[in-house]
Structure formats: structure tokens, C-alpha cells
Structure 1
Amino acid sequence: MALATLYSMASAKRKALPPCHIFIIDHKARDESSEEAQWVSDQVRWKFMFPSTVIPLTWPENTIPADLKSFESNARRLRYQALGQACKAENITTLLTAHHGDDQAETLLMRLIKDRWRSGLAGMRAMNGIPECEGMYGVHHSGGLRQPNLKKRARSQLPFLIESGGLQILRPLLNFEKSRLIATCEHHGTLWKEDSTNHDPTLTIRNAIRHVMAHYKLPASLSQQRLTMLAMRMQDRMRNVEEEAQVLFSKTPIKLDIQTGSLIVRFPPVADLLERSIANETDKNQARDVAYSLIEKIAKLVSPKDTPVVGRFSNSIDFIYPSLSEDPTAFIRPFTHTGILFRVWDRASPFAPASNPKLHHPREWLLTRQPFSREEYAYPSLNIAIPPNSPPTWHFFDSRFWIRVKNHTQHPLLLRPLREKDLESLSQLNTTPRPSRILRAAFNFIKPAELRRTIPALILVDPSDGREHLVALPTLRLTALPPFLSPDDDAFHVEIRYKKCDFGARDAEEVVVPGVWIRDVLAEVKEQERLALRKERRAQMRGEGKEGDARGVDVRKGERGKSVKKRGEETGGREGDGLESK
């Protein structure tokens, strides 16, 4: 209620503030929770004239929430997902929560207990994206592409659109103690309710910590004020590091391929990580912090892990910048982190000058999706069924691609990773229908070849024999209907967008490569068909030559050579050379 009180006061002074809608969560963990939630809703409407909505949480059937060992984490997940859905329904893009300084202190103490140092000591951030809502389109880092802007974006050179938007969380009360907020409510005559379960130390870890902080004398360094100040200092430190890394990031050459979810990057030299020379261990540690933040920013562009595990990138510094490692034997080598395969790019640099296009650079790395494991191939999130005539739904495939499919056929479609068996089914170029040759020709543009096994594929099952048919490569915008579907049929419609990305000070067009275009693939198919036809004609000519006598063959060769020579004389040799090269 303190947040509602303060927002009401602020909006009275600043008419430009957006209108407010209050959400009250009914956790359904106590018999009286619904009645209390409705009471709060009534108070908000009566005192502040704010519209309000009570959101009851839906727990699994036959579940007693308070009896769950993981009640706190489950309640948090359900709470944020319910808030996300409610905000989407109301077209709300910013959500303010009432987390205060006491909550921040409890969070830090919990993280200290769990040995979460570094960013863990920064506690809750005053602003970030909504958690626990991965895959919820229009809530989680998506939904910002409004219809009026789509035509303008469609004229860009991007292979397809890149998502934007998403629900932002603001926590404006983190620097205020709960006691001060209570005093604010009392001063303005605002009534409030407290959840009695918050005082049960046996229910959750946070409750236990809250009980200890309230009833036991802790060292001064663990007081609420000290812990809150620690979080503020750590946030300031992280903000400075991130600002330095952001400057470097905006200067770092990157080529992002959103069709395969891979990139090539030229990491800056060690000397550029700090504005001063690295002279001692303190400098080295600060350089590591900047390198950590820089690598994390770059990795997020292609990572299939929407929320990278905190601290994981610290180990990657040793492989990319061995001179910053504590291990004197460290050396540059491939490694995997957060679902990404890092390896040195040992081929021609995409950033090389035109005067030397084959130039290789030692600080360039290729970042790709780590090959799918056998376990991952079985994940339900990577095997998305699209029933016939089902409502089209956005799916966050592999936490990299937003894909929506409308299935107009009478057969189920399956969205899953492209597999080796799919490639093998297209291996016989000259004996497959032309649509399949189009798909195969597209693979020639995907290099290195192993990137082919990291992209999504749309599969249709033949109703007659149960065989799976590769019918589309969504990221390449290519389709190939099986024989039992008419080319004139509107079999399915696929929409695709790449995940939301932070490109720093650059536009997407400065970072994203144009990719594979249909016109290029069709040109490749025509060239392959031309070469195949020429090969067939040569074989026929060899067969005809075997049937004739040796003199006949010599005569034909002689006549052909004479003709070439004559045309060469007439054209200065160019046409003759061209025929010979063919």
C-alpha cells in the first residue's frame, strides 16, 4: 500500500505520469488470502481511485501450496507469470513492485549463504526485465514490433525481423526500510494488510532469515542498513564496469548471422580492457571484470540459455585472455559455456580489408550453438507439435528464435532441430524433386557445415507410411512440399523473428549479416542443374563415341578444335578461352 500511496501523491503533482492499474496477488496459500486480497483491492479503489485487479494463483491440482518444500520458488514463478499475463492483457509495459530495503537485505544474506559473490552481492536491481516468463510472447523480451513499424523494418537488409519490447520491472523502494514505508502509510491514513505466513520461520528460507534478523543480534556488518549499502556499492561498481564494457562492445567488430544463431567476433586486445596499463593484480582483476562483462554481452547474442548461469563466464576469460589467468599454463583453446561453443576462427577474416581478403586475425572467434545432445533432442520445448488448424502461437524455440506456424494441412507438423537424418534424406541431389534440391542448395551457403545442425526444421509426417518429411527451414525462409501435397495448396505459413538483442550504439544492420536469400539459393539450384545436365550430355557423348570408330572420333575432335580456333580469331581469343574453360 505504500507504493500506491506514493504513486498517488506523485501523480497528483506530475500530471504527465501514466495512469496506474493496481494488481493484487492472491497466493491461495491460506484460507483467508482471497478475502484479504479483495479487501486491499477495495481500499485501493476507494482511497486512490485506481483501478485494481485481484489475480489468484493457479496451483497444480491436489496441491496444498503451504506444504510444498519449494513453496517460495514456485510461488515466485507463478506470481511473475500471472503478473506478466495480466500486464499483457492491459497493454502495460512497465510494472512497479513494492520490494523495499528489508527485502534487499534478506536477498543479500540468502546469497551470502549460497556463496553467490560477484553480481550476487548486488542484490535485486532497480530495473530489469521480468523474470520467470521465458517463452511468453509479448511479456518476455518481445512484442515490441507494432504493425505500423513492420513495413519500415521489412525494407531493411535483415534476413528477418529482430524482436523488441517486453515487460520491464521497476523497484523504486529498494533504498527505503520497511519501517519508513509503514510510517508513510500511517502519516497518510493508508490501511494495509500483512501476510501472516511471512512471519512463519519454518515456511521458507527467506522467512527464516527475516526471523533471525528481527529477533537476534547480528554483527553490525550484517545489519539491514549495511547490507543495503553493500548492494548499492556493488551495483555502482557493476554499473561502472558495464559502462566500460559497453564502450568496448560498441567498438568490437561483430558479424552476427541470425539465420544460424552464430557470430564471428574480433575481441579487443588485453591492453584495451582498461584505460591504463595493467601493472598489478588489482589492475588484472579489474581487467577481468571488464572482460567478463564484454564476453557476456557478446555471448547473449547467440546463447540458447536465456538466463546464463551467474559466474560461468569468469572461466571463459582464461581461454580468450590467457594473460589474465591465474594459471600460468593457460592457453587459447576451444571451450563451451552456457550452451555456446567458442572456438578460434582460423579462416579468412570477415573484417579483413578488400586489399587482403584472405587475411586471418588471431583474436577472432566463432561463437555457435553447442551441438544438441541426445537428451536435448528429446526436450518437449525442442519438439513442438503444430496440430492441423490449431491457433497460431509464438514459440521461443531454443531461446533464440520466435517462430509461429499456421498449419492448414490435415497432418500434424513438428518444429524441432534439424538432424543428420534430415540431411541424409536430401543427399541424392539428382534423384530428388526440385523443392528438395532447393533445400540442399541452401546448405551450401551455411558454413561451417556443422551450423546446419543447429537450426530449426519444420517436419511433416506422411500419413501413408509414417515417414518424416523436411518441409521447411524457417530461418532460411525455404519450403519443400512432399509429393502428396499440391504446390498450389496453402499448406502452412511460417513467421520467424530473432530474439531481442542489445547492439549497443550500433544499428542491427551494422552487426547482422544479410544472410542467405531465396534468389541466391535459386541461382545455386539453376547452376547445379546446369552442371548436372552438362555432365549427363558428356556421358552421352562418351557413349556415342564408344559406338563409332576411332576415325570418327578424331574427325569430330578435329572439327571442334578448328571451329574453336576460328571463333577465337574473330573475338580476340576470349570466346575460345571461355568454351575451353567450360
Structure 2
Amino acid sequence: MLCRRYVVHDFPALEAVRNAQSVADNPVACYQCVVVDHRMRDGSDEEATAVKKILTERLGLRTHQLAIAWSNVLEGTGYSHPKELPNFETVARRQRYRKIAAQLAHSKIASLFLAHHEDDQYETVLMRLISGHSAPGLLGMRAATDIPESNDIHGVYQSGMIDDQASKSPMINYRPTKYDLRSIKAQMMADLDPELIARELLQGTRASAYLEDELDQYVPRTKMMLPAAPPELEDGGCMVYRPLLEFSKDRLTATCEANGIPWFEDATNHDATLTVRNAVRHLSKNHVLPVALQKPAILGMSRRLRERAQLDEGEVVRLLSRTIVRDFESTSGTVVVRLPSFRIPRLRRGQNKNDRRAKRLGHYRYIAALLIKRLLAIVTPDMQSPPVANLQNQVIRLFPSLNDNPSTYPEHPKAFNVSNVHFHPVRTSSDPKAPVNWYLSREPYVSGRPVPVCEFARLPLRQRWRRRPELWRWPPSRPWQLWDGRFWVRVFNRTNVHVSVAPFDARYAKAFRESLPDGRARDTLMGLLRHHAPGKVRYTLPALYTLGDHETAIRDHERSSDVEKAQMLDEAEIKRQWEDMDMAAQREEFYKTRDWELEQVATRGVERAGGGGGKGGGAGGGDGEGAGGASKEEYNKVLVALPTLGIAKPGLMNWIRYDVRYRKVDRTTLSESAKDENDVAWYLYKRARAMATFFCGVLLALSIAQCRSSLPWDATPITPLFKVPTSAPKAESPVSADGMANSTTIDLGWYPPSQTVINNLTNVVSNDTTGVYGFIFNSSDTPDDEYGTYNWCNMPHVRPLEYVRPSEEYELAYVELIHRHHKRTPYAANSFPVESYTWDCNDEGLYYFARPFSEDPTSPDPDPSTTTSRSNSSALAYWEVLSGTTNPFEALAPGWKGTCQFPQITSQGLDDAWQHGADLYGVYHDLLGFLPDRDDDGNWGGKVKYRVTNNVITSEVAGMVINAMWNTTAAPVPLLVQPDGVDSLEPSYTCTAAEGQFDDIQSGSNPEWEAHLEAARGLYAVLDDISGVDTAADSGFHVSFDHYYDNLSARQCHGKPLPCKLVNVNVTGADGTTTAVLVNDTSECVTQAMADEVYRFGNWEYSQIYRDSGAGSLAASVGSFGVWIAELAAHIRGVVEGSGDDTSMD
């Protein structure tokens, strides 16, 4: 039963939870419950009523009690009871969800929470495993998904957002507030150019309505045609959430019992003969299954498959970024696609080479099939996409390089159909090697098979009876219907003929074209068809038909005797006369009217589409107006409109109105794909640039394995992209012993970076419109954008999808990763000379840890139940500043007031480090090949090296990364470290030439550096006054903005307030004495605007040092990181020569 859901025993507590929740910044209005009575056994209705009573009276929740009407389901099946159905569980599930969906649509609810728990997940996966499902079926129930079994219910399944936003009180309100509108207006007014406005007013507006008058000489204005306005794309719908999948049934029942909430269990769940699920549940509870089929193993397998599916989805996203998806037409449901090519890399010689190639081809085909499923979803009318296994032939057609023998594939691809989608190859070049575009459209309808039809009834007789046509009222709001699985259509019909939506039929095209008013309208029709639906695609468009000519039918009604009788009657009298008639009289009126209409048709000589029926169709008060009645076949179909093209017979909208929308399309597929060749080229350029930068850095490092005074910035590039001084001396050009060419064979020139808001001083100074250029604070989450957003506070968690993987042309052999430590508390050196408030760090979740060496490396922690321990263990500890002692120098100590002192890693930083380790293993263990399993007796651990700096917090981070990768803490792992004075990972070695280069950049000899200090003079004066920094005594704060940057960002990273000035205030005590105390002057504080300007100056300084100072920037970078790059090059060279390790991590 669906009454198992979130359990609360306190209604005010539920209200507090509701008030704290929001969707798109819109508060949750209320909770509503749904109880479904399946009516499978006696007493089920009483039980459902009891559940509703508890939810309503005890929890104060509005509850809807629904029941399944099995009589409608069993009609025509030959079965008398639902239990006799061979697919009872499937039918019950469909009926249950459709009942719920209808209620959700009526109540305008967008989120449905189901109480599926861990045991349900286990049963689902085990059932699918028994049934022979492949990996996608073993993923289990999703934690969030669209509501199932309700694809054709508008407002529930992937639809309803447009109507919601158009309503007076939308569920989710995206409209800007008055404050936002005023702010937008102020910004727009600030951007206006008064002189330009005045000049445009003097010139006046154009006399022509056309923007480009020069087009007139090429195209006559009478022939100009704009494309049809595309139908809107639906969005929204109800999402199903399963938040309890991580909790077992026993825990949920215990929670209910602890809170006094009765647990209701459907008795049919214990009938092992009723459904397969019941049988599986009975087996798992009453028998001991093999370990591989028990709950931990099954759920673990499902979890691993979900992780694998996430990685596969990441590969699809990268492949999609190289796929050109353009010209999507919601008018006809078509799209043009250019697929990327797969290049299979050469495999190293060795055993099982053919097997490895076959495995790689199989994986590529699987990824290609997932991409095809995404593209099919744009066009296909099918509700379910085909399984990957059924797309292998199509993968070979679309990606010939994935064939086992590509040479056997035909040179010219042919059109084909899959999932009711027609793939048509289109070549835009005569070159046979040019890439092929694929035009995807709905497959043409097969002759002799039923076509999709949506029917809409005519205006009921009781609303037409004895009324002139101009008095006929529009019917109330009509529900949307899904036509052909692609278009949502809705028709308002106030005529006396039935209306239907069916495919555009060529048999009615000529009459429709001739019904248009003039030649220009007919030319417009043909032009729109050629543009939006060429060839046979036009016959998949939705068309609006009337069953008989509506204009003629309306004129016939005006001549009827009923209308003549009612000439002098008002509306109220006509309505009263109809209601005074009994059912038989109303039915008689219906048949009389119908017979008269048939006579008029016969008189006009119109050929009937079908014979008349007997007197068995009238129902519902004598109306008999259902569109499914026999009378609809008594008229010929008349094509009156092509809704998606906006073409209709003149005057149709006075009697028949229609709306059409295209169903929801995955917008990420359209947005993440390339739009043209330039997007693909840009993607390939970025990848090539990253590889070129890496290899140039490696080659550069090889030339400076030792720090020398003649640094390579003196070299002149052989083929410069930009002009450089020709007088610069050239470096020697021998070839090294290992065959590697040195600096004269590669381009060592410096090229200026492009100008951005970062290195443009004009943008830096008081530019409050650009903020801090995308910085975020106090976050462990990776920003949504791939580039442009940085995190000064914490190394943001890199999503597994964004770890670098080799492209299809290469095989991964070696990985070296370097990353910074994670979130920590600030350095004492970052504090002001006099701090204005107390900062305690003992609430940051600090964590120092240690594990002493034991004779038994696998020895666990001490067992508290025994008196002896097998090994000693360290307590968890952290540093806290000792204060309040008699130490006379304490008042003079630098640092923060409070417990913060030396930087310590926080619990959030440790959690992020652990997640990095888990993701690294998940991404690379298959690609590298020697990380097959964490249970590999630790053999793979010997091939992975970890390196840290002398700072203890890097060791703490390494411990968490290793724990997540190995999934163990038993065996000690060495952390490689270099001596403090020569450490290349955190450069601390002495290099006189490099230090001199740094000093030159940050001195008066650099006019740009001097200019930025001059521009910052006013900001410095304000900050110095607030912070108490003495310019003469502490020049470190004024050489650059490094100290101020660290100080202010450290505060904001930890959610601390920006500082205010400390001033002396005389305070009079109770005894009358006056004492001077320091207090915050809240009128003089560092504002957020000041802090943002400090960040902008700091970014400018880093860019100036490492990018913008010509050859000096190149030299400074080499002096800082050259040794580490040389080490990296040696590692790569060792792997290439076969003497190195496979993985390293710094």
C-alpha cells in the first residue's frame, strides 16, 4: 500500500519541515497523501479508510483515498477476478500509478515520494537477475525518476510547466521581484548612451517594416517568407522520489513503532503464489540463499553497476560534445546530426591482443549505442527506447570504424529505420571522405496499419438545441491529448461536427490548398512544407480534420425547425425547456436532430463515409455526442488546418481553436552537443592545446634540469607566432644523449596572453560590476561550469566525469596526479597586527591522527572487551591555542585571537580528500589495468606511489586518499618526501637567478607593477586604517596584496565576518572609574566591495608574475616549477622506456 511514507509523530514538526523546504526558492505549500485501495480482498476498503483516518486526524495531512475499478480492466479479457490475470502485478502497477497520476494532475502536485525501501530494492534486482536482465536492468529502482505508466497524462508526465507558468498563481514562480526589476532597470539605464539615443531620435525610425531593405533587389517582397513559429517544448511534470532506499524495512517499522504510528501490511504480500515478487520475498525470508544471492551481495552488485553506468554516461557526454546536433525542428520533429568518428588506437604487442581489441570495440559500441539512444529520444514516438543490445547493427551503420572489419562496410551509407525513426544520409560535399550528415525524422506510416488519431467531440446537443450558431458557447477547458507520442494537442470545438487530429494525408491536400484565400497563401503553404517537412516527412505532420464541412453544417443548422421555433426565446427559456424534458424526450430530440442532419447531407449529395447506426448511441441525457459514436463515420473528412505550420482555412478560429506543443526533449542533449564545425574544432583545439602545453613544459624542463644563470628565456623561437626581439642570443643546439632535442629545436618564445578582466588593470580598479570573477567560498562542491570558477578556500571536488581520460586513439599507460591539500584553518601569519574579534577553530572539526607501527601490520584496533591489546593506538587530537596563562609575552604574540594558530585540516577537508581517492580508483582502475580489484592482496598498491610535502596537513590528506583507494587502513603506506630545502613539489630550493627574476617583476623596475600599486594607493589607505598595519614597520602587506588577500579570503572561507576598526572607548565602571577598552567601530569596516577589489588586485598580481611579464614570466615559472617538471618528464620517459612505474600521486 502507498500509505508507507515519511513518518512523523508531531504535526508542528511536519510544519517546520515544510516551511524549511523550497523548490526553486519557492516554499513548499503543503503535503498531501494518497492511499490506493487495490480491492483485491475483502476488507481492503476498511483498511484504506483506517489509514486515511490516521493520516488525517493524527497527522493533520490532507489524504486522498483512491480505488482501482477492476471491472473496466477485466472487460473483454475473459477473466472474472484480477488474480486470474497472468500479468497481474504489471496490470496492478499500471492501474495504481495512473490513479495516482490523475490525482496529482488534479491537485497540481509536482513531487511524489514513495516509501520503497532497501528490501524492495533487493527484491527488484533479484527478480530481474532471475529473469535474465542485463546490466541496465540490474541497476534497480532509481532514487528520482519521472512518474511511470502515465505517458499520456498531461501535467504529470514531462509536461505542464507552460500552463503552470501562464497561470495567475504558478507553482514555481520565476518572475523577478520588484526589487530585481528596479535593479535591472537601474543597470539598463546606466548602460544607455544619451548621445546615441539623441542621435537616433533625430534620425527617426525606418519607414519600412523590413530590417534589410537591400534584400528587395534579390527577393520580391511578395515572395518573402519567414519560417513558421515553432511549437513550444513541453517541460515539467511530476517526479517520483524514493528517499528510503537506503533504509531496511525492519528499521522503518521500528521507527513507526517508536513514534506510535501503526504499520499497515497488505495481507496479499504474504501470498507466495500471487506474484513473482511475493515468491522472491518468501524465498529470501524463509530460506538461506547462496552468499552471492543474499541482500548484501545483490545490493553491492547493483551499486557497482550504477557507478559503472555513471562513468559510461560521462563518456557519452564527451562523445556528445563532438557530435553536431543542429536544426532541431519542433514543427515537424526532425533534427540533423553529424556523428563523430572513432579511431581505434593501436594496441601494444603482447598476449591476448585480439581479445583486448575485441573488448575495446565492444565498449566503444556500447557507448555509441548510448549516444544513439539519446538522439532517438528527440524524434521517436515510442515511449520506451530500444535496449542497447538491439542497436548493434545501427551502431555499425553509423560508426563504420567500430566494425570488426571496417573495409567490408559499404562506402555509401543507406537509409534505415529504428525505433520508428528514419535515418537518412545527407552528403553536403562531393568528396567521398567528407563526413555524412544524418537527417532524423519520424518513420513514415505503414500502409494498412492504423494511424494515430486524437478525437474531439462536437458541441453537445443540449448546448446547441434551439440556438442560433452565433450563440453557441465555447466548451470548457479541454484536456491535452498526446498524439503519436510526439505532440500534445488540445482542441476547442463549438461546431456541430466532430474534429480529429491525424497525419497529414495527401488525398486531402488539394482541397485544402484550394480552400486558402489566394495564391500568396498557397505559395506560403508550399514554402513552409518544403522548409520544415521536405519529402515524405510532411506526411508525418499532425493535421486537423472535421468529419464533414463545418461551415455547411452550421448553415444547415440555421435552417432547422428548432431554430425557427426559438427565434423569440431567450437563453434562460431554452435552457429551462431542455431541463424540463425527461431522458426519453432528450434522446428523442437527439435522434430527430441527427436524422435531419443526415437528410441535409443526402440532399447535398455528399458521399457518406459510413452507414447510419441504430438508436443505440444516445446516452448521457440524450446528447450522444461522444467522439467515439457511430455518427462520426457519416461524414467525409475535411482537412482544415496544419497546426504546427500555423496554416488554417479562413475563419476556422471563429469555430475551432487548437493548441499544439512538442513533447519534452532532453535539453542537455541539445545544449551539450556541438552546433557546427567550429564547436567541434574548438573542442579539439582545447584538447590539443592542453597536450601541447604539457609536452612543451616537459621539453622545457629537460633543458634546465639544474638551475643555471643562463635561463632559456633568452632563446629565440625558430618559427615565432608573434614577433620577438631578433637581437636576443640563441641558445646552443646540441642533441642530448638520449635523442631528445634541446631548446633550439622547439619554440621557447614567450607569447602574450589574451587580455581578460583578470589582467586588465582598468577592470580591476573599482569595477564593482564584475565582482571577484567567479570565485566561490566555503564550498566542497565543484562548480557547474567547466572553467571560469575557482575556489580559493578548498580544493573543489572533481567529479568523476571530469577526470582526464585518453581519447579513443590512445591507451592509458601512466597517470601522475598533483593536487593541493583540502580545506584547512588559516595561518597565523594571515592575521592583522591587532585582530578585532575572537576566532576559535576548535569547532571546525579538526582532526590529527596517527597509527604506530605494529609487528602485525594487519592488527586491528584494540578490542575494548579484552584487558590486553594487540597494538597501541593513538587518540584523536588537534591543536588549540593555550591562552590565559601567566606568560608575559602572550599579549605580544601574533595571530588570531582565540584558538586558531597553525593551520590544521578540517573534517570537511578530510571528507573531500577521501572522495578524491574513491573517485580516482573508480576512474582509473580499469583504464590502467593493474588496479582490477581492491581485494587483490594489496599487490597493486606497490605500483602506486604517494608523495607529500613537509607540511603535515598534506600527509593527513594523503591518508584519506589512500584509505578511499585501498578501502583499508591495515597496511602502512610510505609517503615519499624530499628534504625541506630542496623540495620540488612545494618549491623551497634556492635559485638565485629565479629569485632575481621574481624580484624584478615585483619592483619599481616593472612599470606595470608600479602602476598597479599607484592605482591601489587609496584602497591601501583604507585597509591600513582599519587593520592597524604600520606601513613603515611591516612592508609585507604593501609589496603586494598577498597578505590582505589571504586574510580576507580566510575569513570568508570559514564564514567569518569581515573586520572592523578597533578604537579606544572610555567606559565608566560601577565604582566611577574610567577605563579605556578596545571596541569595534562598525562605521569603519572592510566592505564586501573592498574585499572583492582586493581579490581582483591579487588575481592581477598572479597573472602579472606568471603570465604577463614577457620573458620574465617564463623564467619565473621555470625557476619555480622546472625541477618538478623535469622529474615528471623523467617518470614519463621511464614508462616509455619500460623502466618506470605506472602511477604516481603527489
Give the alignment's TM-score, normalised by structure 1: 0.75
Question: What secondary structure does 2:70 align onto?
Answer: coil
Candidates 127, 135, 147, aligned match of 2:152: 135
Aligned pair 1:265/2:269, yes or no? no
1:364-379 alignment to 2 at 5 Å? 364-374=437-447, 376=449, 378-379=450-451
**Per-residue CA distance 1:170-221 (angstroms, 9 max, x = gap):** 0112222222222222333321111111111211122122222222322211
Equivalent in the alignment of 1:3: 5
Instruction: State the one-letter code of the partner of 2:383.
Output: D
Residues 12 and 211 (structure 1), Cα distance of their counterparts in 2 relative to 1, 3 Å cut: same
Equivalent in the alignment of 2:362: 285
Equivalent in the alignment of 1:44: 55
Q: Distance in 2 between matches of 1:54 and 1:89?
A: 14
Residues 150 and 191 (structure 1), Cα distance of their counterparts in 2 relative to 1, 3 Å cut: closer
Q: Distance in 1 between matches of 2:165 and 2:646?
A: 23
More off after superposition, 428-437 vs 492-501: 428-437
User: 1:126 touches 1:170 (CA, 8 Å); kept in 2?
Assistant: yes
User: 1:439 touches 1:480 (CA, 8 Å); kept in 2?
Assistant: no
Equivalent in the alignment of 1:316: 394
User: 1:258 touches 1:498 (CA, 8 Å); kept in 2?
Assistant: yes
Number of residues of Structure 1 aligned to a counterpart in Structure 2: 491
Higher relative contact order structure (alpha carbons within 8 Å, sequence separation ≥ 6): 1
Candidates 204, 207, 210, aligned match of 2:281: 210
1:178-189 alignment to 2 at 5 Å? 178-189=249-260
Identity %: 30
Q: Distance in 1 between matches of 2:286 and 2:448?
A: 48
User: 1:158 touches 1:509 (CA, 8 Å); kept in 2?
Assistant: no
Residues 157 and 252 (structure 1), Cα distance of their counterparts in 2 relative to 1, 3 Å cut: farther
Give the alignment's TM-score, normalised by structure 2: 0.40
Equivalent in the alignment of 1:340: 421
Equivalent in the alignment of 2:644: 475
Instruction: State the one-letter code of the partner of 1:168.
Output: M
Q: Distance in 2 between matches of 1:31 and 1:268?
A: 61
Residues 60 and 289 (structure 1), Cα distance of their counterparts in 2 relative to 1, 3 Å cut: same
User: 1:336 touches 1:370 (CA, 8 Å); kept in 2?
Assistant: yes
**Per-residue CA distance 1:342-392 (angstroms, 9 max, x = gap):** 23222469xxxxxxxx9995242111111112354x25x425344346653
Residues 496 and 180 (structure 1), Cα distance of their counterparts in 2 relative to 1, 3 Å cut: same
Residues 6 and 393 (structure 1), Cα distance of their counterparts in 2 relative to 1, 3 Å cut: same
Question: What secondary structure does 1:284 align onto?
Answer: helix
Q: Distance in 1 between matches of 2:57 and 2:515?
A: 73
How far residue 506 of structure 1 moved from its aligned partner, in angstroms, is 5.6
User: 1:250 touches 1:504 (CA, 8 Å); kept in 2?
Assistant: no
Equivalent in the alignment of 2:544: 458
User: 2:9 touches 2:260 (CA, 8 Å); kept in 1?
Assistant: no
Instruction: State the one-letter code of the partner of 2:236.
Output: G
User: 2:159 touches 2:234 (CA, 8 Å); kept in 1?
Assistant: yes
Equivalent in the alignment of 2:315: 244
User: 1:265 touches 1:364 (CA, 8 Å); kept in 2?
Assistant: yes
User: 2:428 touches 2:436 (CA, 8 Å); kept in 1?
Assistant: no
RMSD (CA atoms) = 3.6
How far residue 64 of structure 1 moved from its aligned partner, in angstroms, is 2.6
Candidates 502, 507, 511, aligned match of 1:416: 502
Residues 79 and 315 (structure 1), Cα distance of their counterparts in 2 relative to 1, 3 Å cut: farther
Candidates 79, 100, 111, aligned match of 1:94: 111
Residues 6 and 240 (structure 1), Cα distance of their counterparts in 2 relative to 1, 3 Å cut: farther
Residues 272 and 435 (structure 1), Cα distance of their counterparts in 2 relative to 1, 3 Å cut: farther
More off after superposition, 328-337 vs 406-415: 328-337
Aligned pair 1:57/2:48, yes or no? no
Instruction: State the one-letter code of the partner of 1:83.
Output: I
How far residue 129 of structure 1 moved from its aligned partner, in angstroms, is 0.3
Residues 445 and 363 (structure 1), Cα distance of their counterparts in 2 relative to 1, 3 Å cut: closer
More off after superposition, 132-141 vs 282-291: 282-291
Unaligned runs of 5+ in 2: 22-27, 169-173, 176-226, 346-353, 460-473, 554-600, 607-634, 677-1146
Residues 348 and 27 (structure 1), Cα distance of their counterparts in 2 relative to 1, 3 Å cut: farther
Residues 438 and 364 (structure 1), Cα distance of their counterparts in 2 relative to 1, 3 Å cut: closer
Instruction: State the one-letter code of the partner of 2:372.
Output: I
Residues 47 and 320 (structure 1), Cα distance of their counterparts in 2 relative to 1, 3 Å cut: same
Aligned pair 1:16/2:20, yes or no? yes
User: 1:268 touches 1:363 (CA, 8 Å); kept in 2?
Assistant: no
Q: Distance in 2 between matches of 1:111 and 1:47?
A: 39
Residues 258 and 27 (structure 1), Cα distance of their counterparts in 2 relative to 1, 3 Å cut: same
Instruction: State the one-letter code of the partner of 1:498.
Output: Y
Question: What secondary structure does 2:64 align onto?
Answer: strand
How far residue 41 of structure 1 moved from its aligned partner, in angstroms, is 1.7
Q: Distance in 2 between matches of 1:70 and 1:107?
A: 16
Residues 227 and 499 (structure 1), Cα distance of their counterparts in 2 relative to 1, 3 Å cut: same
Residues 35 and 459 (structure 1), Cα distance of their counterparts in 2 relative to 1, 3 Å cut: same
User: 1:426 touches 1:432 (CA, 8 Å); kept in 2?
Assistant: no
More off after superposition, 224-233 vs 59-68: 59-68
How far residue 340 of structure 1 moved from its aligned partner, in angstroms, is 0.7
User: 1:40 touches 1:192 (CA, 8 Å); kept in 2?
Assistant: no
Aligned pair 1:401/2:412, yes or no? no
Residues 386 and 489 (structure 1), Cα distance of their counterparts in 2 relative to 1, 3 Å cut: same
How far residue 25 of structure 1 moved from its aligned partner, in angstroms, is 1.0
Question: What secondary structure does 1:4 align onto?
Answer: coil
User: 2:374 touches 2:669 (CA, 8 Å); kept in 1?
Assistant: no
How far residue 267 of structure 1 moved from its aligned partner, in angstroms, is 1.2
Q: Distance in 2 between matches of 1:359 and 1:384?
A: 48
How far residue 422 of structure 1 moved from its aligned partner, in angstroms, is 2.6
Q: Distance in 2 between matches of 1:488 and 1:125?
A: 47
Q: Distance in 1 between matches of 2:265 and 2:448?
A: 45
Instruction: State the one-letter code of the partner of 1:337.
Output: V
Equivalent in the alignment of 2:293: 222
More off after superposition, 502-511 vs 75-84: 502-511
Question: What secondary structure does 1:120 align onto?
Answer: helix
Instruction: State the one-letter code of the partner of 2:540.
Output: T
How far residue 492 of structure 1 moved from its aligned partner, in angstroms, is 1.1
Candidates 78, 86, 96, aligned match of 1:79: 96
The structure number with the bigger radius of gyration is 2
Q: Distance in 2 between matches of 1:397 and 1:417?
A: 10
Instruction: State the one-letter code of the partner of 2:502.
Output: R
Residues 5 and 83 (structure 1), Cα distance of their counterparts in 2 relative to 1, 3 Å cut: same
User: 2:229 touches 2:645 (CA, 8 Å); kept in 1?
Assistant: no
Instruction: State the one-letter code of the partner of 1:121.
Output: L
Instruction: State the one-letter code of the partner of 1:40.
Output: V
Q: Distance in 2 between matches of 1:259 and 1:294?
A: 24
Q: Distance in 1 between matches of 2:163 and 2:480?
A: 15
How far residue 240 of structure 1 moved from its aligned partner, in angstroms, is 2.2
Equivalent in the alignment of 2:655: 491
User: 1:386 touches 1:415 (CA, 8 Å); kept in 2?
Assistant: no
User: 1:347 touches 1:360 (CA, 8 Å); kept in 2?
Assistant: no
Instruction: State the one-letter code of the partner of 2:337.
Output: V
Question: What secondary structure does 1:301 align onto?
Answer: helix
Instruction: State the one-letter code of the partner of 1:372.
Output: Y
Q: Distance in 2 between matches of 1:375 and 1:179?
A: 56
User: 1:401 touches 1:497 (CA, 8 Å); kept in 2?
Assistant: yes
Equivalent in the alignment of 1:199: 270
Q: Distance in 2 between matches of 1:43 and 1:189?
A: 11
Instruction: State the one-letter code of the partner of 2:479.
Output: T
Unaligned runs of 5+ in 1: 350-357, 482-486, 513-582
Residues 291 and 510 (structure 1), Cα distance of their counterparts in 2 relative to 1, 3 Å cut: closer
How far residue 14 of structure 1 moved from its aligned partner, in angstroms, is 7.3
How far residue 135 of structure 1 moved from its aligned partner, in angstroms, is 1.2
More off after superposition, 16-25 vs 278-287: 278-287
